[in-house]
Amino acid sequence: DTGVSQNPRHKITKRGQNVTFRCDPISEHNRLYWYRQTLGQGPEFLTYFQNEAQLEKSRLLSDRFSAERPKGSFSTLEIQRTEQGDSAMYLCASSLREENSYEQYFGPGTRLTVT
C-alpha cells in the first residue's frame, strides 16, 4: 500500500454513460498525476496537477475527459459519453515538489470496462 487510494477499483459501464473516478493522494504531496494503461502497454500520461492547478494535459485527454483537483487535495477524473476504446486501467500517482523527490507513488488503479 503506497498511501494513494483510488475508487472505485472496478467500474463496468455501458457505452454512452458518464463515469467519474476519484484519487486520494498521499496527504502532503502537492503533485498529482493521471495515467491510462491498456492491456500489454505501459501507462500513458494523461494530465498532472500542482496543488489545484492543472499544468499539463496530454493529447490523449480528449474533450470527453475532464480532471479536477479542488483545493489541491483529492482529484476526480470524469469521462463523458464513454466509448469502448476508453476501457483501460486508470492510474493515479502523487509526488512532492522537492528538488530530490523523484518518486511518483501510484495507486492501485481503477479498471474501467465499457460494454
Partner 1 sequence: DAKTTQPTSMDCAEGRAANLPCNHSTISGNEYVYWYRQIHSQGPQYIIHGLKNNETNEMASLIITEDRKSSTLILPHATLRDTAVYYCIGRSGGSNYKLTFGKGTLLTVNP
CA 107 distance to own-chain centroid: 9
Which residues is 63 bridged to in the sheet? Answer: none
Contact call for residue 31 and partner 1 (CB under 8 A): yes
Cis peptide before 25 (omega within 30 of 0): no
- Considering only CA atoms, which of 18, 21, 66 is closest in space to residue 46? 66
Q: Which of 20, 45, 66, 87 binds partner 1 (CB under 8 A)?
A: 45
Among the candidate windows 12-20, 33-41, 65-73, 74-82, which touches partner 1 by CB under 8 A? Answer: 33-41
Q: Which is nearer to partner 1, 12 or 55 (CB)?
A: 55
C-alpha closest to that of 90 among 47, 41, 35, 39: 35
The answer to whether residues 55 and 2 touch, using CB atoms and an 8 Å cutoff, is no
* Size of interface with partner 1, in residues (CB under 8 A): 27
Least separation in angstroms between residue 59's CB and partner 1 is 13
Residues 22, 74, 87, 105: which binds partner 1 (CB under 8 A)?
105
Positions in 56-75 near partner 1 (CB under 8 A): 56
Euclidean distance between CA atoms 69 and 53, whole angstroms:
8
| Chain residues that interact with partner 1, rule: CB under 8 A | 2, 4, 31, 33, 35, 40-45, 48, 55-56, 91, 93, 95, 97, 101-109
